[in-house]
Chains A and B, each alone.
Chain A
Amino acid sequence: MSRQSSRAPDPRKVNGELFTLTYGALVAQLLKDYEDDDEVNRQLEKMGYNIGVRLIEDFLARSNVSRCNDFRETADQIAKVAFKMYLGVTPVVSNWSAAGDEFSLLIENNPLTDFVELPDGHTDLNYSNLLCGALKGAMEMVQMEVDVKFVQDQLKGDNITELRLKFIRRLEDAVPAGED
Chain B
Amino acid sequence: MAVCVAVIAKENYPLFIKTIPTDNELKFYYTVHTSLDVVEEKISSVGKNTNDMRELYLGLLYPTEDYKVYGYVTNTKVKFVIIMESSNTNLRDNEIRSMFRKLHGAYSDMLCNPFYTPGENITSRSFEEVVLAMMQQD
Instruction: Say yes or no: is A168 at the interface (Cβ < 8 Å to chain B).
Output: no
Q: B114: nearest residue on chain A (CB-CB)?
A: A24
Cβ contacts under 8 Å, B110 to chain A: 115, 117
Q: Is B125's CB under 8 angstroms from A117's CB?
A: yes
Q: Is A117's CB under 8 angstroms from B124's CB?
A: yes
Complex: A27 Cα to B113 Cα, angstroms: 11
Give per-residue flags for A17-40: 1 if the beta carbon is below 8 A from chain B beta carbons, else 0. 100110111011001000000000
Q: Is B109's CB under 8 angstroms from A115's CB?
A: yes
Instruction: Say yes or no: is B112 at the interface (Cβ < 8 Å to chain A).
Output: yes
Instruction: Say yes or no: is B126 at the interface (Cβ < 8 Å to chain A).
Output: yes
Complex: A25 Cα to B114 Cα, angstroms: 6
Distance (Å) between the CB of A164 and the closest chain B CB? 26
Instruction: Say yes or no: is B115 at the interface (Cβ < 8 Å to chain A).
Output: yes
- Classify the interface of chain A: helix, strand, loop or mixed: helix
How many residues of chain B get a CB closer than 8 Å to chain A's CBs? 11
Distance (Å) between the CB of B65 and the closest chain A CB? 39
Complex: A114 Cα to B111 Cα, angstroms: 12
Instruction: Say yes or no: is A119 at the interface (Cβ < 8 Å to chain B).
Output: yes
Instruction: Say yes or no: is A151 at the interface (Cβ < 8 Å to chain B).
Output: no
Distance (Å) between the CB of B113 and the closest chain A CB? 5
Q: B111: nearest residue on chain A (CB-CB)?
A: A115
User: B residues 97-129 with Cβ under 8 Å of A?
Assistant: 109-110, 112-116, 123-126
Complex: A114 Cα to B116 Cα, angstroms: 14
Complex: A24 Cα to B115 Cα, angstroms: 8
Q: Is A116's CB under 8 angstroms from B115's CB?
A: yes
Contact of B113 among A17, A23, A31, A115 (CB under 8 A): A115
Instruction: Say yes or no: is A118 at the interface (Cβ < 8 Å to chain B).
Output: yes
Cβ contacts under 8 Å, B115 to chain A: 24, 28, 31, 116-119
Complex: A120 Cα to B109 Cα, angstroms: 18
Q: Is A117's CB under 8 angstroms from B112's CB?
A: no
Q: A31: nearest residue on chain B (CB-CB)?
A: B115
Complex: A116 Cα to B109 Cα, angstroms: 9
Complex: A28 Cα to B118 Cα, angstroms: 13
Cβ contacts under 8 Å, A24 to chain B: 112-115
Contact of A116 among B113, B123, B125 (CB under 8 A): B113
Cβ contacts under 8 Å, A118 to chain B: 115
